[in-house]
């Protein structure tokens, strides 16, 4: 897969919260029929999240096409959310966003990234595995399974 070099990354600003909400809702909409409810990221308060967490945005021709939300913990970088606009999926934007999270972790002297996803989101689990994440554990949640994953960075 070749990554489109017209994609630029930039940090989010408070004014981006509504657009972030819209892209998250669009990206996660395909999972509603799979799990029978809106995934939790569709219900988040993005005004609050943008004020409290780090967001990096993938921008193409002035439009937001991807989002990654991260939080620095004592011993790792937590990926709270990563998504790509439906029409931009399959072009390597998710990989760019995951690589950005790795840079943020390294800059903060964290050697591990962690995230969770719904076990029913098989393509997401596969994506993370392809990028070096391993399954740490699985737990029941709201009639499904939450998959906890992590990736160790080279020291």
Tens of each residue's pLDDT in the chain, 155 residues: 445 568 999 999 999 999 999 999 999 999 999 999 999 999 999 999 999 999 999 999 999 999 999 999 999 999 999 999 999 999 999 999 999 999 999 999 999 999 999 999 999 999 999 999 999 999 999 888 999 999 999 86
Q: Among residues 79, 83, 51, which one has the least CA distance to residue 67? A: 83
Residue 38 lies in a domain: yes
Cα-based distances in Å from 30 to 15, 52, 110, 125, 128: 26, 27, 33, 15, 18
Neighbours of 42 (CB within 10 A): 16
Residue 124 lies in a domain: no
- Residue given tokens 């308060």 in the structure block: 45
Residue 103 lies in a domain: yes
At 77, which CATH number?
3.40.630.30
Predicted structure pTM score = 0.93
Question: What is the pLDDT, as a whole number, of residue 53?
Answer: 97
Residue 128 lies in a domain: no
Q: Among residues 127, 75, 137, which one has the least CA distance to residue 105? A: 75
pLDDT per residue as tens digits for the range 131-147? 999 999 999 998 889 99
Residue 73 lies in a domain: yes
The number of distinct structural domains making up the chain is 1
Residue 21 lies in a domain: yes
Residue 139 lies in a domain: no
Q: Among residues 55, 105, 64, 112, which one has the least CA distance to residue 87? A: 64
Residue 70 lies in a domain: yes
Residue 43's domain comprises: 7-109
């Amino acid at each position: 897969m070749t990554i489109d070099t017209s994609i630029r990354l930039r940090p989010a600003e408070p004014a981006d919260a509504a657009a972030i909400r819209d892209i998250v809702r669009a990206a996660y909409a395909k999972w509603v029929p799979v799990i029978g409810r809106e995934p939790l990221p569709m219900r988040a308060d993005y005004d609050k999240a943008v004020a409290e967490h780090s967001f990096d945005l993938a921008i193409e021709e002035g439009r937001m096409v991807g989002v990654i939300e991260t939080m620095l913990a004592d011993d790792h970088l937590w990926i709270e959310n990563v998504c790509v606009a439906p029409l931009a999926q399959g072009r390597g934007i998710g990989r760019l966003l995951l690589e950005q999270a790795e840079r943020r972790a390294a800059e903060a002297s964290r050697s591990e990234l962690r995230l969770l996803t719904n076990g029913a989101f098989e393509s997401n689990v596969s994506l993370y595995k392809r990028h070096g994440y391993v399954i740490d554990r699985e737990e029941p949640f709201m009639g499904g399974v939450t998959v906890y994953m992590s990736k160790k960075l080279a020291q």
